[in-house]
Chain A
Amino acid sequence: MEIRLENIQKKFSSVVAVHDMNIRIKDGSLTGLLGPSGCGKSTTLFMIAGLYAPTAGNIFFGDEAVTLLPPEKRGIGLVFQNYALYPHMTVLKNILFPLENMKIPKKEALKMAEEMADIVQIRDLLDRKPSQLSGGQQQRVAIARALVKKARVLLLDEPLSNLDARLRLETREEIRRIQKETGITTIYVTHDQEEAMSITDDIVLMDKGWIQQQDSPQQMYLNPGNQFTAEFLGNPPVNIIDGKITDSVLVVCGEKLCGFDGVEDQPVVVGIRPEAVLIGNGDIKASVRLIEIVGKDKIISLDLKGCLIRAIVSLDYDCNVEELLSFSVKHSGVFLFDKTTGARIKGFAS
């Protein structure tokens, strides 16, 4: 089921939580709705679910306008930020509840619930109360409850935020598996860029109620449309430095970094991906200010005439603080942004 939002806006008395939003979510895809806390992700999701009515705009599922339909008529399954399993019902009763409301005969409902329980692998937990389950198990029950009514669309609101780091990794793979297995169009809300990058087909990035970009994770990382997108994706984060273009050359802190054809002379904001800083390869000189070890990587902070630039190298690269290193930058990992609007300025390598 393709989902389209056209000029969607949501106001809460005085606050505008979502501004003029236009997105298209492909049928059968797993789309991430990504953004910092408070940017309007849940609000958007709740409008798609029908729990909130948009202040303006239209929502379509396929060709059908659903803007005015109540949640139960939309054929959606929703997993809430903290699951919202009914605490007084057993797991089985929780999963049966939506079917009960659809007046499906008991026997058939039971069969559907058990099938669903098999898919999310909670068959042996059906008689427990939600409070007797671990976070990961609760989450799977919530997914089962959302999907059991043969939902056309699955909406997940930060489904992993209550889990510990290891379980989070496992569970997101699990969600991916369930999504692939059922082929259901899924919207996955998260504020964790890594999570979004690792399992989604497509990402919608939001900030302060505005859409920043919609693209595949890879494209969004390699080709950010603006400064916010570049900064939000990637860990360690992109280096942001002031610079300027003179005669088609990018100059940062008085050093010529690389050539940029097709860009007028102007001051710019420069974003440099840490992995695009190629140490020991080039003739720009900088001293090592700080060395951090992060897992299997080493992050080296270079002092380029007062500008700090982080570079990422492998753990076995040997260097010391204060050491003078030479480096160059890879053109594809250097982005230019407009100083006032933050919009991307594109140029060519030269």
Chain B
Amino acid sequence: MSIIEGRNTARGTVAAWVYLLPALIIISVFVFYPLIMAFRMSMYESYNFYKNVGTGFGFASFKRVLCDSDFHIAVKNTLFLSFVAMPVSIIISLVIALLISSIKKFQALFQTFFFLPYVTSVIAVGIVFRWLFHSNYGLINYFLGLFHIHPVAWLNNPKTTIYALAIYYIWGNLAFNTIILLVGVQNIPKMYYNAARVDGAKWGKIIFRITLPQLSPTIIFLTIVGFIASFKVYNEVYALFGDLGGAANSAYTIVFYIYRTFYGAGRMHIAAAAAVILFVAILCITIIQMLVSKKFVHYK
């Protein structure tokens, strides 16, 4: 009774905990325990994964990570994806969504068409992209060739690997972003457009003063999700460059760095320290984003 009535009685509280117990057990085993272990691991100066024993206690691993030049590359690349590739992907998606929503015929067809990449495996698409980026036979270089631009060794030149990764990442996000934005655009009541036309607003003004503000909750949602996802990019690196992470580790992202340090180099406590750093970074960014978005977004 007390639960149904929503009162905070002792019996009600106990019953609530009992109902939550199965979920809590599963979350504890698979989320909290690994999290705590990772924190513990990161505090050792050396650590044996198989025996689960470590020696020394302090911030030495964090220092190692922060001084590692591979980690610097990883941070730089990850930030590039978050601050350049992710916004670019949302902007392109926005344009596509606006275009699709303005065509009358075959709209459903285009919608399906743009959703296809989303249901395709990242790895499979990666293979296709490897071919697209191929320095001799790739389609991208072929097109550049049409404009008399010398072929670029996209995947082998440490200077260009990040661009290849970014292009692949943008393409991979297009489907999801476009579909979500398209739904957002279609959900804007038509009467606002009619009102704006009566009020004499031109096309561009309607987009910036009506459509975008109405879409702002959707855009913020995609930015937050995209931001966190961009911090966790790993599949894409693996799909394009394989196990090694590009020429001279130039395509490392933070998660790929963690992966390499964990498996490749077997320095689990260093990887754990990097993971903790990533965790804290994502946490901070999310909090900041929430605070900022409250100011600018129009929620109904």
Contacts and interface: CB of A to CB of B under 8 A. Distances in A.
Interface of A: 46, 49-51, 70-72, 76-78, 80-82, 84, 86-89, 97-98, 101-102, 131, 145-146, 149
A237 B145 CA distance: 81
Q: Which 8 A-B pairs have the closest CB atoms?
A: A72-B200, A88-B298, A101-B200, A84-B191, A98-B199, A84-B195, A88-B213, A71-B198
A51 B202 CA distance: 14
A71 B192 CA distance: 14
A98 B199 CA distance: 4
B209 A97 contact: yes
Contacts of B202: 101
A131 B192 CA distance: 15
Given A72-B201, A146-B198, 18 more contacts: A51-B194, A51-B198, A70-B197, A76-B198, A77-B198, A78-B194, A78-B195, A78-B198, A80-B191, A84-B195, A86-B196, A86-B209, A86-B213, A87-B300, A88-B213, A88-B216, A97-B209, A98-B200
Contacts of B199: 72, 97-98, 101, 145, 149
A319 B209 CA distance: 66
A127 to B, nearest CB: 15
Contacts of A80: 191, 194-195
Interface in B205-219: 205, 209-210, 213-214, 216
| Most central of B194, B200, B216 by chain A CB within 10 Å | B200
Interface string B214-241: 1010000000000000000000000000
Contacts of B22: none
A220 to B, nearest CB: 30
B201 A101 contact: yes
B189 to A, nearest CB: 7
A131 B197 CA distance: 22
Contacts, number: 62
A145 B192 CA distance: 13
B298 A87 contact: yes
A82 B195 CA distance: 11
B202 to A, nearest CB: 7
Contact of B205 (A49, A101, A145): A101
Contacts of A70: 197
A205 B110 CA distance: 44
A340 to B, nearest CB: 41
Nearest to B202: A101
Contacts of A87: 214, 298, 300
Given A97-B209, A131-B300, A84 B200 contact: no
Interface of B: 189, 191-192, 194-202, 205, 209-210, 213-214, 216, 298, 300
B90 to A, nearest CB: 19
A71 B198 CA distance: 5
Contacts of A71: 197-198, 200
Nearest to A77: B198
A51 B197 contact: yes
11 contacts: A50-B198, A72-B197, A72-B201, A81-B191, A84-B191, A84-B192, A87-B214, A87-B300, A97-B199, A98-B200, A101-B205
Contacts of A145: 199
Residue among A84, A87, A131 with most chain B CB within 10 A:
A84
Contacts of B205: 101
Contacts of B214: 87-88
Nearest to B205: A101
A51 B193 CA distance: 10
Nearest to A129: B298
A102 B194 contact: no
A239 to B, nearest CB: 41
A187 to B, nearest CB: 14
Contacts of B200: 71-72, 98, 101-102, 149
A97 B198 contact: no
Nearest to A70: B197
Residue from the set B197, B198, B199, B201 with the largest chain A CB neighbour count within 10 Å? B198
Nearest to A85: B195
Contacts of B201: 72, 97, 101
Contacts of B210: 86
A50 B214 CA distance: 24
A50 B194 CA distance: 10
Given A87-B300, A88-B213, A82 B191 contact: yes
Nearest to B195: A84
Contacts of B300: 87, 131
Nearest to B297: A88
Contact of B194 (A84, A97, A101): A84
A66 B194 CA distance: 18
Contacts of B197: 51, 70-72
Nearest to B214: A88
Point out which of B189, B209, B214, B216 has the most chain A C-beta atoms below 10 A from its C-beta.
B209
Contacts of A89: 213
Contacts of A50: 198
Contacts of A78: 194-195, 198
A81 B195 CA distance: 11
B274 to A, nearest CB: 41
B204 to A, nearest CB: 11
Contacts of B191: 80-82, 84
Contacts of B298: 87-88
Nearest to B197: A71
Nearest to A74: B198
Contacts of A46: 194
A350 to B, nearest CB: 55
B213 A84 contact: no
Contacts of B209: 86, 97
